[in-house]
Structure 1
Amino acid sequence: MAALPIAQADVKEVPESELTMTKDLSFDIHKTLFTLRYRHYSPKSLDDDYSSRIFDGYLKVLDPNKIYFTKEDIDGFEKYRNKIDDFLIRRDAEVAFEIFKVFRKRLDDRTKAVRTLIESDFDFTINEKLNIDRDSFEWKTPKQIDDEWRKRIKNDTLQQTMAKTPITEIRENLLRRYDRQRDVIFQLKGEEVFEWFMNSYTTEHGPHTTYMSHVTAENFNISITLSLQGIGAALNTDEDYTVVNRIIKGGPAEKSGSIKAEDKIVAVGQENEEMINVIGWRLNDVVQMIRGDKGTKVRLDVLTGDSAPGSPPERIELVRDIIQLEDQAAKLSYLDVPEGQGSSKYGVISIPSFYSNVRQARRGNGKLVATTRDVKKLIKEAQDNGVEGLALDLRGNGGGLLHEAISLTGLFIDQGPVVQIVGSRPNQRAVEKDLDSSIAYDGPLVVLIDRYSASASEIFAGAMQDYGRALIVGERSFGKGTVQSPEQLREGGRKSTIKYTNAQFFRISGSSTQHKGVIPDLKLNSGREDDEFGERSYDNALPWTETQAANYRAGSLPIGLVSSLSSKHQNRSNVSPAFEYLRKSSDRIFQNKEIKSISLNLEVRQAERDNREQAALSDLNTYRKSLGLEPVTSDTRKDNPLPDEDEHWNKVFHQEAAEILHDYNKHQSALVTKLTNS
Structure 2
Amino acid sequence: MSWFATLSRLAALTAVLAISSTAMALEPTDKQRQAAEESADSLRYGHYADVTFDAAWSRDAFDRYLDILDGQRAYLLQRDIEPFESLRTELDRVLNRGELDEVFALHQRAGEKRKARLEWLLDELDQGLDFTFDGSQRLVVDREDAPFATRESELDTLWQKRLTNDALSLALTGQKREEVEDTLRQRYEGQLKRLEQTEPEDVFGLFMAAVTGSIEPHTAYLSPRQGESFDIQMSLSLEGIGALLQTDGEYVKVASLVPGGPAERAGVLKPADRIIAVGQEGEDDMTSVIGMRLDNVVDLIRGPKGSDVRLEVIPAQAVDTTRSHVVTITRDTVDLEDQAASSEVIELERNGDTHSLGVITVPTFYVDFDAWQAGEDDYRSTTRDVAKEVEKLKQQGVEGIVLDLRNNGGGALQEANSLIGLFIDRGPTVQVRDAQSRIQLYGDSEAGTLYDGPLGVLVNRLSASASEIFAGAIQDYGRGLVLGSGTFGKGTVQTLDELSHGELKLTRAKFYRISGKSTQNRGVTPDITFPSLIDPERIGESSLDNALKWDSVRDVQYRRYGQPEQYLPELKERHEARAADNPNFRYLERQSTLARKLREQHTSVSLNREQRKREMEAQEAEQLSLENQRRRALGMDELDEWIDAREDAIASSGNDENGASGEDDNENMPAERAQVIEAAEILLDYADLNATTRLVQG
Q: TM class by shorter-chain length?
A: over 0.9
Map of 2:137 onto structure 1: 128
- Name the amino acid aligned to 2:476: D
User: Is residue 455 from structure 1 mapped to residue 472 from structure 2 by the alignment?
Assistant: no
TM superposition shift of 1:560? 2.6
Contact 1:247/1:261 (8 A) holds in 2: yes
Q: Which whole-Å CA distance do the structure 1 matches of 2:341 and 2:513 have between them? A: 24
**What is the DSSP-based 3-state SS (H/G/I as helix, E as strand, rest coil) of the residue aligned with 2:303?**
coil
User: Is residue 269 from structure 1 mapped to residue 286 from structure 2 by the alignment?
Assistant: no
User: Is residue 217 from structure 1 mapped to residue 217 from structure 2 by the alignment?
Assistant: no
TM superposition shift of 1:90? 2.2
TM superposition shift of 1:291? 0.8
Contact 1:267/1:275 (8 A) holds in 2: yes
| Pairing of 1:60-139 with structure 2 (within 5 A) | 60-118=67-125, 119-139=128-148
Contact 2:536/2:543 (8 A) holds in 1: no
After superposition, the Cα gap between the structure-2 partners of 1:14 and 1:367, relative to the gap in structure 1 and judged at 3 Å, is: farther
User: Is residue 620 from structure 1 mapped to residue 627 from structure 2 by the alignment?
Assistant: yes
Q: Which whole-Å CA distance do the structure 2 matches of 1:587 and 1:149 have between them? A: 33
| Pairing of 1:659-674 with structure 2 (within 5 A) | 659-674=681-696
After superposition, the Cα gap between the structure-2 partners of 1:486 and 1:165, relative to the gap in structure 1 and judged at 3 Å, is: same
Map of 2:673 onto structure 1: 651
Map of 1:29 onto structure 2: 36
Contact 2:423/2:452 (8 A) holds in 1: yes
Map of 1:6 onto structure 2: none
Contact 2:457/2:481 (8 A) holds in 1: yes
Q: Which whole-Å CA distance do the structure 2 matches of 1:366 and 1:156 have between them? A: 59
Contact 2:496/2:503 (8 A) holds in 1: yes
Contact 1:525/1:570 (8 A) holds in 2: no
User: Is residue 188 from structure 1 mapped to residue 198 from structure 2 by the alignment?
Assistant: yes
Of residues 418, 429, 452, the one that matches 2:429 is 418
After superposition, the Cα gap between the structure-2 partners of 1:153 and 1:16, relative to the gap in structure 1 and judged at 3 Å, is: closer
TM superposition shift of 1:579? 0.7
**What is the DSSP-based 3-state SS (H/G/I as helix, E as strand, rest coil) of the residue aligned with 1:25?**
helix
Q: Which whole-Å CA distance do the structure 2 matches of 1:526 and 1:22 have between them? A: 48
| Pairing of 1:296-335 with structure 2 (within 5 A) | 296-335=307-346
TM superposition shift of 1:416? 1.0
Map of 2:9 onto structure 1: none
After superposition, the Cα gap between the structure-2 partners of 1:652 and 1:41, relative to the gap in structure 1 and judged at 3 Å, is: same
After superposition, the Cα gap between the structure-2 partners of 1:652 and 1:499, relative to the gap in structure 1 and judged at 3 Å, is: same
- Name the amino acid aligned to 1:19: L
Q: Which whole-Å CA distance do the structure 1 matches of 2:654 and 2:604 have between them? A: 35
Higher deviation after alignment, 636-645 or 103-112: 636-645
After superposition, the Cα gap between the structure-2 partners of 1:558 and 1:105, relative to the gap in structure 1 and judged at 3 Å, is: closer
Map of 1:228 onto structure 2: 238
Q: Which whole-Å CA distance do the structure 1 matches of 2:373 and 2:51 have between them? A: 44
User: Is residue 56 from structure 1 mapped to residue 63 from structure 2 by the alignment?
Assistant: yes
TM superposition shift of 1:122? 3.8
Aligned residues: 659
Contact 1:306/1:592 (8 A) holds in 2: no
TM superposition shift of 1:271? 1.7
Map of 1:376 onto structure 2: 387
Q: Which whole-Å CA distance do the structure 2 matches of 1:605 and 1:93 have between them? A: 46
After superposition, the Cα gap between the structure-2 partners of 1:614 and 1:531, relative to the gap in structure 1 and judged at 3 Å, is: closer
- Name the amino acid aligned to 2:584: A
- Cα distance per residue 1:57-116 (max 9 Å; x no partner): 111101111111112112232232112222222221111110111112111111111013
Map of 1:543 onto structure 2: 549
Map of 1:485 onto structure 2: 495
Of residues 518, 521, 524, the one that matches 2:524 is 518
User: Is residue 475 from structure 1 mapped to residue 485 from structure 2 by the alignment?
Assistant: yes
- Name the amino acid aligned to 1:435: S
Contact 1:130/1:152 (8 A) holds in 2: yes
Contact 1:445/1:470 (8 A) holds in 2: yes
TM superposition shift of 1:282? 2.1
Of residues 554, 562, 568, the one that matches 2:568 is 562
**What is the DSSP-based 3-state SS (H/G/I as helix, E as strand, rest coil) of the residue aligned with 1:138?**
coil
After superposition, the Cα gap between the structure-2 partners of 1:528 and 1:114, relative to the gap in structure 1 and judged at 3 Å, is: closer
TM-score normalised per structure 1 = 0.93
Map of 1:260 onto structure 2: 270
User: Is residue 239 from structure 1 mapped to residue 246 from structure 2 by the alignment?
Assistant: no
User: Is residue 350 from structure 1 mapped to residue 361 from structure 2 by the alignment?
Assistant: yes
Q: State the superposition RMSD in angstroms.
A: 2.2
Q: Which whole-Å CA distance do the structure 2 matches of 1:277 and 1:300 have between them? A: 10
**What is the DSSP-based 3-state SS (H/G/I as helix, E as strand, rest coil) of the residue aligned with 1:229?**
coil
Structure 1 unmatched runs, 5+: 1-12
Q: Indicate the percent of aligned positions where both proteins have the same amino acid.
A: 37
- Name the amino acid aligned to 1:662: L
Map of 1:582 onto structure 2: 588
TM superposition shift of 1:222? 1.0
- Name the amino acid aligned to 1:288: D
TM superposition shift of 1:376? 0.5
Q: Which whole-Å CA distance do the structure 2 matches of 1:643 and 1:114 have between them? A: 43
Q: Which whole-Å CA distance do the structure 2 matches of 1:546 and 1:15 have between them? A: 57
After superposition, the Cα gap between the structure-2 partners of 1:674 and 1:551, relative to the gap in structure 1 and judged at 3 Å, is: closer
- Name the amino acid aligned to 1:656: E
- Name the amino acid aligned to 1:609: M
After superposition, the Cα gap between the structure-2 partners of 1:606 and 1:628, relative to the gap in structure 1 and judged at 3 Å, is: same
Q: Which whole-Å CA distance do the structure 2 matches of 1:95 and 1:158 have between them? A: 40
- Cα distance per residue 1:121-151 (max 9 Å; x no partner): 1431111100113344221120000000000
- Cα distance per residue 1:183-206 (max 9 Å; x no partner): 222212112201110221111220
Q: Which whole-Å CA distance do the structure 1 matches of 2:371 and 2:72 have between them? A: 47
**What is the DSSP-based 3-state SS (H/G/I as helix, E as strand, rest coil) of the residue aligned with 1:542?**
coil
**What is the DSSP-based 3-state SS (H/G/I as helix, E as strand, rest coil) of the residue aligned with 2:85?**
helix
- Cα distance per residue 1:405-453 (max 9 Å; x no partner): 1000000000011111111135x32111100111010000000010000
Contact 1:160/1:312 (8 A) holds in 2: no
TM-score normalised per structure 2 = 0.91
- Name the amino acid aligned to 1:457: S
Contact 1:475/1:529 (8 A) holds in 2: no
Contact 1:231/1:291 (8 A) holds in 2: yes
TM superposition shift of 1:484? 0.6
Q: Which whole-Å CA distance do the structure 1 matches of 2:616 and 2:376 have between them? A: 53
- Name the amino acid aligned to 2:82: D
TM superposition shift of 1:600? 0.6
TM superposition shift of 1:551? 3.0
Q: Which whole-Å CA distance do the structure 2 matches of 1:89 and 1:14 have between them? A: 33
- Name the amino acid aligned to 2:134: T
Higher deviation after alignment, 462-471 or 264-273: 264-273
Contact 1:525/1:573 (8 A) holds in 2: no
TM superposition shift of 1:591? 2.1
Q: Which whole-Å CA distance do the structure 2 matches of 1:419 and 1:464 have between them? A: 11
Contact 1:326/1:369 (8 A) holds in 2: no
Map of 2:616 onto structure 1: 609
**What is the DSSP-based 3-state SS (H/G/I as helix, E as strand, rest coil) of the residue aligned with 1:645?**
coil
- Cα distance per residue 1:560-609 (max 9 Å; x no partner): 31121111111111221001111222123212321111111100111122
Higher deviation after alignment, 580-589 or 29-38: 580-589
Q: Which whole-Å CA distance do the structure 1 matches of 2:647 and 2:603 have between them? A: 33
**What is the DSSP-based 3-state SS (H/G/I as helix, E as strand, rest coil) of the residue aligned with 2:329?**
strand
- Name the amino acid aligned to 1:158: L
Q: Which whole-Å CA distance do the structure 2 matches of 1:472 and 1:510 have between them? A: 18
Contact 2:480/2:564 (8 A) holds in 1: no
